[in-house]
Amino acid sequence: MSDRMKLKGILAFCLLFLSSFVLAEVNQKEFSVQNSPHLPSRDTIYFEDGRDYFSYKEPIEQVSRTDKKIRIQFFFDYDCRVCSSAQDILELYSQIRTHKVALEQYPIATADSQFSARIFYTLQALSAGELSNVLLFETSEKSRYTELSTSNKIQQWAEEQGLDKQLFIQTENSQSVKEQIQNAIELTEEYGVFTYPYVVIGGKYVLTASTLYNDDYSVAVLDFLVNKIEQEQKQ
């Protein structure tokens, strides 16, 4: 075979290769146009009732706040392994949306379990409400809760936090705290609190530990529900 024929053969091969490459590029572009990626519509609900949050069949009747902010009610118990981290998420969100929401704390109480309400309202009465957060964090360990849930140990703990022990005991057994405990029992029943943490948004929607475990996810769901309530209020 002459050199000239070899050269023609090489050129033909190159042209065939290039044409195949160009055709592949064109076909790929045509395929992409004809089969564009499926994107969800703007109306798609990203968070589902029964999975990401829960709804009351009948909303809880609430007196509107004077500042018109949407209530985020945090029901907690000191005998809770995740309530402290859930509270951190809720406080973060309330700071991000301070113009929209107000975070309120409520201890869970029943006829048989009143420790959390008694200590929470005792600390509130002594103007030491911030110690509730300290206690909530400490008792995230079950063994620590078991230890501090006895009268002597919680009184000792209060003294270690800088409170007057006798005043703590006196306040803990006061009529005012007893009345607040009773109110907590009634509120726990009214809201149907069955687990902790238990978070109620605007008296309509509920979040539990299944949602309150990740900052980004929890904040996104909270935003979704707050925006949902705002839209419902406009209707």
Residue 113: give its domain's CATH number: 3.40.30.10
Exposure string over 145-157, b if 16+ CB within 10 A, otherwise e: beebeeeeebbeb
Is the confidence at residue 18, as pLDDT, over 50?
no
In a domain, 170, yes or no: yes
Q: In what order do the strands lie in the sheet with 198-201?
A: 54-55, 205-207, 198-201, 70-76, 101-107
Is the confidence at residue 36, as pLDDT, over 70?
no
Counts for the chain of helices (H) and strands (E), in that order: 9, 5
pLDDT of residue 17: 39
Asked if 214 and 115 sit in the same domain, the reply is yes
Asked if 27 and 119 sit in the same domain, the reply is no
Asked if 21 and 75 sit in the same domain, the reply is no
pLDDT of residue 46: 81
Asked if 4 and 86 sit in the same domain, the reply is no
Asked if 16 and 124 sit in the same domain, the reply is no
pLDDT of residue 235: 83
Is the confidence at residue 2, as pLDDT, over 70?
no
**Considering its fold, how many domains does the chain have in total?**
2
pLDDT of residue 45: 53
Asked if 28 and 75 sit in the same domain, the reply is no
Higher-confidence position of 14 and 168? 168
Mean pLDDT to the nearest integer, 66-83? 97
Asked if 23 and 121 sit in the same domain, the reply is no
pLDDT of residue 26: 31
Question: What are the C-alpha distances in Å from 54 to residues 48, 100, 144?
Answer: 9, 21, 32
Tokens of 109: 């109480």
Asked if 73 and 14 sit in the same domain, the reply is no
202: domain range? 54-234
Q: pLDDT (tens digit, 9 = 90+) per residue, 147-202?
A: 999 999 999 999 999 999 999 999 999 999 999 999 999 999 999 999 999 999 99
Asked if 89 and 5 sit in the same domain, the reply is no
In a domain, 208, yes or no: yes
Share of the chain above pLDDT 70, in %: 81
Asked if 67 and 2 sit in the same domain, the reply is no
Asked if 12 and 71 sit in the same domain, the reply is no
